[in-house]
Amino acid sequence: MTKIIGLTGGIGSGKSTVANYIASKGIPVYIADEEAKNIMERADVKQRIQNLFSESILNKDNTLNRKKIAELVFNNSRKLKELNAIVHPEVQLHFKNWLKEHENFPFIIKEVAILFETGGHNQCDKVILITAPEDLRIERAMKRDNVSKESILARIKNQLPEASKIELSDFVIENIILQKTLLKTDEILKILAKL
């Protein structure tokens, strides 16, 4: 049976870099955030999301205004929970179907930003955590998303503390120097191939 390997890490840790590297090796990688974005644009899901908010969260072209949604939910834990209650079950269903298409692989990678926070690690055979010092993560995320330090800190506040994630993980990759990160990833992939 195909093993599910969770891949996670806090904002700006570099989990997408590692996910892309693993995918380049021909290993199937499911990027939960990307799939969630696609699912959220489905008309039925979009309507349910709009119903959560009193103001319009749509752009002029009828796509979701993600920046506005982020501002509304990251400082309101109740709204964030309500949004997740709409999106997460849809993503889980999509993942189940995706997994069936890849059941001939010994293992797949499921990249999820909030794997522990949603209890998703309980459905994984092993978990890889990508970590980096918080100041470096903040700097990377600010540059990547073109947002303020405050908005990154608000997101970090909604994520499990790094120390707790390390305890719950089977493998930890400290992503400071890319070359070392990729070497460590290769080591872990060799171990996973023997499971």
Query: For position 157, which CATH number holds?
Result: 3.40.50.300
Same domain, yes or no, for 56 and 140?
no
Q: Mean per-residue pLDDT for 73-81?
A: 84
The answer for residues whose C-beta is within 8 angstroms of residue 59's C-beta and 6 or more apart is 65
Q: What distances in angstroms separate CA 188 from CA 22, 128, 191, 194, one per listed residue?
A: 11, 9, 5, 10
Same domain, yes or no, for 72 and 134?
no
Q: Mean per-residue pLDDT for 45-60?
A: 91
Q: pLDDT band for position 155 (50/70/90)?
A: confident
Same domain, yes or no, for 114 and 177?
yes
Q: pLDDT band for position 71 (50/70/90)?
A: confident
Same domain, yes or no, for 94 and 189?
no
Same domain, yes or no, for 92 and 161?
no
Q: Which of the two residues, 113 and 25, has the higher pLDDT score?
A: 25
Same domain, yes or no, for 19 and 111?
yes
For residue 124, give the 3-state DSSP assignment: coil
* Residue 140: domain span: 1-28+105-195
Has residue 118 got a pLDDT over 90?
no
For position 125, what pLDDT does the model report?
97
Same domain, yes or no, for 22 and 117?
yes
Give the chain's domain count: 2
Residue length, the chain?
195
Bind-site residues for ATP: 12-17
Q: What distances in angstroms separate CA 65 from CA 8, 54, 62, 68, 168, one per listed residue?
A: 25, 14, 9, 5, 34
Has residue 26 got a pLDDT over 80?
yes
